[in-house]
Structure 1
Amino acid sequence: MDSCAEHSAHERAIEQHDRRLDAHGGEIDELRECVVRLTALQEAHSAWQADADDRIAALEAAPGKRWESAINYVLTSVIGIVIGIAAGHIGL
């Protein structure tokens, strides 16, 4: 059976579309792999960022803790002195 000119043109067009579809399918697969790798990188970065934020917060809190300790020592000393003076006046 001989095919007419229109039919052969349709077959060529379909073959061309099939080739393009196959090529695009490969590109889609490559993009999917890229998305998977990017997602893994983003998750790793998020974990690193959370760890870095915790370390920065600890470093920023250190001077505040030192001041709290110093104030506690001063307050304890002042209270001790006041109690000592009061005990001295009472005769203890």
Structure 2
Amino acid sequence: MDEMDKRVSILEETIERHEERISAHGKEIDTLRMNREHDSVVLAQVNSTCLDIKQRLDAMEKKPATRWESMTTAVINAVTLAVLAYVLAHVGL
């Protein structure tokens, strides 16, 4: 019976170690889940920031085009006014 008690004792110790490891693994898995959720929130914030930066960049890229269009319109208006003034001056008005 002494041999049997020894084997039972060894098995009980092994079971206890396995239960401790399983419990530790469960805690690690919970921590990983929380980290994943936190990372998902951070990723969403990064995506939002990137979208904001992209919108700002698009607006900045459009500014020179808008300025160019304004300048072109001003030049066309000035040339048209000069031609009209020239025609009116020759007509005698």
TM-score computed with the length of structure 2 as normaliser: 0.77
Instruction: Write out per-residue CA displacement over residues 21-66 of structure 1, whole angstroms, 9 at most, x where no aligned residue.
Output: 0001001101111111111011011101101111122122212210
Q: Which runs of 5+ in 2 are unaligned?
A: none
Moved over 3 A (4+): 79-82, 85-92
Q: 1:32 to 1:68 in 2, by over 3 A?
A: same
Q: Which residue is equivalent to 1:22?
A: 23
1:47 aligns with 2:55: no
Following superposition of structure 1 onto structure 2, how do residues 1-92 of structure 1 map, counting pairs within 5 Å?
A: 4=4, 5-82=6-83, 84=84
Q: What is the CA RMSD across the aligned residues, in angstroms?
A: 2.5
Task: Report percent identity of matched pairs.
Answer: 33
The number of equivalent residue pairs is 90
Deviation, structure 1 residue 13: 1.1
AA in 1 matched with 2:16 = E
Partner Cα distance (2:33, 2:9) in 1: 36
Q: Which runs of 5+ in 1 are unaligned?
A: none
